[in-house]
Chain A
Amino acid sequence: MSVLGRLVSSVCSCGSNSGFLASVQKSVLPTYLTTRMYRKIKQKEGEKVTVIKGEVFEDTKNVYVEKAVPDDPCPLRSRGIQITYEDVLILQQFITSTGEMLPREHTNLSQQEFFKVLTCVKMAQRANLLPGTEDQTDKQGNFVPKLNRYLTRYDVGSRTPIRSRGLQYTKRLYRIGDRRLARDAPRVSSRPWSLNH
């Protein structure tokens, strides 16, 4: 555990996509191009015959980064990467085009990192940064208008209104963000992430 911690701390941690490439190139991790095949379903309808094929394509533009800790199967933990909900280019790799998460057996994420990625993906979907759920309905079935929001912890129609917030010393606060991410996510200033408003 201590060895991993030391190795992970030596690798740079990043919060935004722009800092990732620069930080990785500065470090010793080599990058190389790989070619991978992937399949896509194509459907052709003729007069009497419909052909459904799984065509094989070659994906040549794959820039892969080696791990700092090769024994660790988790792609985020082995490279010392801490994500926020704004890291859309990293999060997109772990979801399908409709917005569902890929299974853990496929991506080899550890359980803690998987839940971190899941919360980040959900927050990004509610902030309209990633493709996801388009329809938003309330618990009673009323249509909720699509409004701009960010750092939403709970589902859109799932919260009831707070009519009385209470006195200063027993105030009921609005919950924002996620506690696990605020504990681990990087920040330039020493002020901690705000979780309550």
Chain B
Amino acid sequence: MSFGRANQQWATFSRVWHILNADRQPAGGIGVLVSRYVQGLHKPIYHPTSDVGDHVVVVNAKKIAYSGNKWEEKVFTAHTGRRKGRVRMQAFKVHELDPTWIIRRNIYRQIPNNLLRRTLFQRVHVFEDENVPAEIMENVTNVLIGPRPVPKAITDYTEEEKDSFPKLFLRDKYFLKS
């Protein structure tokens, strides 16, 4: 009797811990990506009733990016059910109060609305900083890449790259460099 097949079975059905850096990533794109890994849709053995979802740790949640002027224009609403219970807050104020709220809301809403949603949402761990507890970092084995390719700032280029880049116009003979 060979035990190689048992190891293969355990390896395919094991629960993997992923980590994702949300620095300068869009909030909606992260929700789509994380819900996909939490449900187990990235696995060929997927079935909704067989528990094949993974854990996902999201880091740097307070450095999330919104395209356009959504930080000022986007308004989140809620109602307590009582009189004068309507709450309307702009996105940057919500982010100030709880930096993880926007990401968690997006992920929760991307998971399908069924009885599995709350258990799958418990496998999502969102942190505003890079300070993750050691109990969780021990389990992490895979790194996920964010949906948006982050562009390079001018400070990220070295001096050699800046100098070797070709110039498009020649300056005046005695140009005052400010």
Contacts and interface: CB of A to CB of B under 8 A. Distances in A.
A89 B74 contact: no
B130 interface: no
Given A159-B69, A174-B69, A145 B154 contact: no
Interface in A144-191: 144-145, 147-154, 156-163, 174-177
A177 B177 CA distance: 31
B175 A145 contact: no
Given A148-B24, A163-B75, A89 B96 contact: no
A130 B169 contact: no
Given A56-B174, A145-B92, A64 B167 contact: yes
A101 interface: no
A90 B168 CA distance: 8
Contacts of B122: none
B155 to A, nearest CB: 9
A153 B95 CA distance: 21
B115 interface: no
Contacts of B69: 149, 152-154, 156, 158-159, 174-175
B58 to A, nearest CB: 15
B151 interface: yes
Given A37-B173, A129-B153, A174-B73, A149 B67 contact: yes
B68 A175 contact: yes
Contacts of B171: 36, 38, 106
B67 A197 contact: yes
Interface residues of A, number: 65
A197 B68 contact: yes
Interface residues of B, number: 43
B176 interface: yes
B46 interface: no
Name, among B66, B75, B157, the residue most crowded by chain A CB atoms within 10 Å (CB to CB): B66
A88 to B, nearest CB: 5
B152 interface: yes
A26 interface: no
A21 interface: yes
Contacts of A79: 168
A148 B64 contact: yes
A32 to B, nearest CB: 10
A89 B154 CA distance: 7
Contacts of B174: 37-39, 56
Interface string B140-178: 000000000001111001000111111111111111111
Contacts of A34: 170
A117 B164 CA distance: 21
A163 B77 CA distance: 9
Given A76-B168, A108-B169, A150-B67, A39 B151 contact: no
Interface of B: 23-24, 63-75, 88, 90, 92, 95-96, 151-154, 157, 161-178
